[in-house]
Every structure is written in structure tokens, then in C-alpha cells.
Amino acid sequence: METTLRGVGVSHGVAIGEVRHMGTAVLEPPAKQIPAEDAGREQGRARKAVEAVAADLMARGNLAGGEAQAVLEAQAMMAQDPELMADVDRRIAVGSTAERAVYDAFAAYRALLAGAGEYLAGRVADLDDVRNRIVARLLGVPMPGVPDSDEPYVLIARDLAPADTALLDPTLVLGFVTEEGGPTSHSAILARALGVPAVVALPGAGELAEGTVIAVDGSTGEIFVEPSAEKKAQLETAAAARKAALSASTGPGATSDGHKVPLLANIGGPADVPAAVEAGAEGVGLFRTEFLFLDDSKQAPSEEKQVEAYRQVLEAFPEGRVVVRVLDAGADKPLDFLTPADEPNPALGVRGLRTLLDHPDVLRTQLTALAKASEGLPVYLEVMAPMVADRTDAKAFADACRTAGLQAKFGAMVEIPSAALRARSILQEVEFLSLGTNDLAQYTFAADRQVGAVSRLQDPWQPALLDLVTLSAEAAKAEGKSCGVCGEAASDPLLACVLTGLGVTSLSMGAASIPYVRATLAKYTLAQCERAAAAARAADTAEEARAAAQAVLSGE
């Protein structure tokens, strides 16, 4: 009998297939004592396992490329954390086996993160995955992961570690469903990059029996269990119509009455450029530069290395717009040479621009490298600072850009509610705003973006979040400046229409979402988008906001 479940749709498309479950977690190693003379040997085993797992994660990152590479390299750094390894050595020295010492050391660190209620608690799933990989290697058992199958299937998991998501084979994995996660989790972002339909935060997903046929709608978040032939046909017809609309929609982003809305790509580095160009991106709205710095957590990359990477991206968009975000270190992206290890709550501490202002040499080198990389190129370079809180922050960044001789527009990301509330003040110092809706939602609702239990508050349709977008867009319009969105909200085609109606001047998203957004925008006039935006803001919940906007645009 057909039943319908609902999670959070995070990657467009429809997948119909049999359920296959992710492998079970590594069993807890037995707690047994070793003779003191074996401690050195066990410590050596632990170090070799850690190095092997780190190398494997780096290799997976190199294969995956782009944003996935940055995520996996961060996991490799986690595996080699010196404090964790010191704790492992200490536990072995008092009698633990290598595998038990690793298990217990990671458990202690996990409890610290999970219990502190801080932003880093969102990395618990990543930490568990690293632990499981090390313990599995020490026990000599296969690492649980994506199931072996010769036939295509829909993957079900409690959560998907970045190392698993990054290397999914889209020819076999039709789509995936997880119990945990949220719309801005690593798995969601990587699913969009892969173009695999995905639904997250679905309670009870693990209870779906192996082999059950389900249909996954990654746009609506609906899961149809044992769908009828009629439902399958309906979904397949809708998917075919969507595909045809995508093929027919080309050129710059615009509403049906010609209001231009540039559609830009979010990228993590040069490896993401080909997909962005193929999708017809009109430029880059968010170039995350962290990937360069994650190669070596001990020191910043040289100016020469940065120039080379930046130039590769800039050359790919002649006459286009490329918006570069300077290093956003701290919180879930710690760097040994920059971020303090003992902050009680890194998300509310020294991260983003605050970190760079504390290390002006790192900021100066990056800005100088960007200036050199753009020399002689007909590209419209724009550089923005992350985590800007007020006008003082904005002025400090603009001054640093001028001192470095950067011939580009300087901007500020709006990720903190104070920046939206005082946007006109900030725009006295910078030339554009870019809304990072992922972090803006997190700080507005005090809801960690990686925790599935609070995913409803991470929904970008929340009316309070739309209010902050409106404040920023209206401030930019009043100052004659631009205000784009580079958070994951821009990848939702319906929400893209609403954001346009709120006055946002450009939309940036993962390359795979650009055709969907282009085709949807082209169906409606600016006036329709404005009416849909007003209806969404008048609602009280995210679900009501989406329904209200949909009703307006469908003419109901």
C-alpha cells in the first residue's frame, strides 16, 4: 500500500528504485589490557592506521575534486589532530590496545563537542566517520559504507559522511535519503554538486525494509513508499517535463518580462569551474578559498600558489563577474596556524574576518595574490569578507583591500543578523552585499546548520529570514548598490523567484541547480515574483510561506 513520508528535499530530481542500506557502524572494540612492553608497538600501529586513513581521505578528495576535496581534506586533518593522537598514546601507555585507545579518545572528544552546544557539534558525524575508519583498519575489517550492488538503487543511511557522498556513483545510486542532516549539511551540498536527488532529515528512514521500492522527490522532500503505477507515471512525467524545460532554457537569468537576474555559481576551486561553465553560469558568486588553506593546516599557502589557483578561475570567466570570499577560518574550519584551539564556542568567537584582522599578514598576502592574479584580465573581480558584523568591520576590510592595491569592488557578506539590520551603515564602506543564508539562518534561529533535529529552523523559507533578506536588499537599493544571495537558498527555484521579488539582484548556487532556477524564473514576471514574496513574508511558518508563494505563482 502506498504511503507518503516527508523530509527535507535538498537536491532536485526524482529517483525510483529499491532501498539499499548503508553498512552498519564499526563494532566497539573489546576493552582488554596489554603488557607494558607492547605499548610501543601498539602506538606504532595506531599512528600507521591514522596516517593510512588520512591518506585515503586525501586521495578520495583528489578524485572527487572541487568542494568535496576541501571537505575531505578537513576530515584528514581531523584524523591527524595532534591532541587526539596524544590522548591515544596516553591511553595505550596505561594498557589499552590501539583500537580501544582510538575508540575511547574519539569518544571523549565527541562528548566534548556534542555536550558544549557549539557550532562544532555539527561535525560529530564527520568525527564518527574518521573514528570508524581508523578502528576498522586496526581491526582488519572492511569499512562500512556504500553497499555493493550491480543494479541501481536508492541509498538509505542515518547520515552520510562526506567521504561516502563525494564518491557516490550516480549511475548506481539513483538518490539517497538520510535520517539526519539538514539543507546546508555537507551531504546536501555535495548531493547538489553531484546532481543526485536527495532528501534529508527524514525520521524513521532506517526502518524502510531492504528491497522496498520507493520514489524520492528531491524537490518537495516527499518519499512515496511502494508507489502505485499511477504515481510512478505521474512522477516520471513531471520529471520528463522538467528536463525538457531545462533543455529549452538557455542564456542569462531573467524573468519572463526581461528583468535580469544574473545566475552565478558557487565554487570551491578550479576543479568546479567546468561544471559551472557547462551549466551556463554568468560568473562566480561565491569562490570559497578555504580549499587552498586546507592543504596544510600548519601554514598559509604561498602568494605564488594562491595567484596560480585564483588565475585559473578568473580566466574561465572573461567579461564575467567573479566574487571571491577571503579565507573564512574558524568554527568548523579550524587552521592550526590561525584559529585558537581552546575557544569555548568557536561559532561565536574569532572566525572569518575577525581571524584575518588578528592575522593581517595572512589577509594581506591573499589580497595581494588576488590583485596579481587579476592583472591584465577582462574579468570583473569582486572581493568580500565573511562574518561582517558592523560598519567597523566593513571599514577595516575595505582599508586592507586598498592598502594591498586591489583594483576590485569590495563587499561584505551578510551572515550575522546585525549586518542585515544595519546594512545601510555597512554600505557606506563597501560596494555590495552578499547574503550567506546558511549562516544567517543559523545565527538568526540559534539552530546549528548540521543538526537534523533543528532543520525546520534552517529552512530558508522561514519568514523571519525573508525579512532580513528584505532589509538588506532594500538598503542596497537605497544606496544604489547590489545585493546578491550566495547561500543554498538560491538553489531552490521557487525560492529564487521569491528572492527576486524581495529585491535581490543576483543568485549564486551550485552549478547543478542553475538550469532549474533559470527555467523557473523565465516563467514568471517580476510583478508575480514580488506578489509571491509579499505572500511568503505574510506567513507565519516556512511551510505556509512556501505554499503561499506557490499559490500566487500558480494563479490559485
Q: What share of the chain is helix, strand, coil (3-state, %, to 5)?
A: 50, 15, 35
User: What are 516's three cell numbers?
Assistant: 532549474
CA-angle at 190, arms to 185 and 192, nearest 5°: 100
Report helix, strand or coil for 3.
Answer: strand
Query: Measured between alpha carbons, how far is 71 from 58 in angstroms, rounded to an integer?
Result: 10
Is residue 221 packed enough to be buried (19+ CB in 10 Å), middle (13-18) or exposed (0-12)? buried
Residues constituting the chain: 556
Query: CB neighbours of 312 closer than 8 A, spacing ≥ 6?
Result: 270, 273
Q: Which amino acid is at 540?
A: D
How far is CA 399 from each of CA 8, 86, 521, rounded to the nearest angstrom? 42, 42, 38
User: What are 537's three cell numbers?
Assistant: 513574508
486 flagged as catalytic: yes
Closest CA to 183 of 515, 487, 520, 548: 487
Where do the H-state alpha helices sit in 37-180? 39-64, 66-79, 82-93, 98-116, 124-139, 162-166
User: Which helix or strand (DSSP H or E) is residue 215 part of?
Assistant: strand 213-217
CB atoms under 10 Å from CB of 241, counted, come to 10
Choice among 483, 486, 497, 529 that is catalytic: 486
Query: Measured between alpha carbons, how far is 473 from 495 in angstroms, rounded to an integer?
Result: 15
Choice among 12, 186, 401, 483 that is catalytic: 186
Name residue 175's beta-bridge partners.
154
**What would the DSSP string read from start to end of 5-52?**
EE-EEEE-SEEEEEEEEPPPPPPPPP--B--GGGHHHHHHHHHHHHHH
Query: Measured between alpha carbons, how far is 356 from 382 in angstroms, rounded to an integer?
Result: 18
Yes or no: say if 161 and 144 are a contact pair by the CB < 8 Å rule: no
186 flagged as catalytic: yes
User: What are 260's three cell numbers?
Assistant: 535580469
By annotation, the residues acting in catalysis are 186, 486
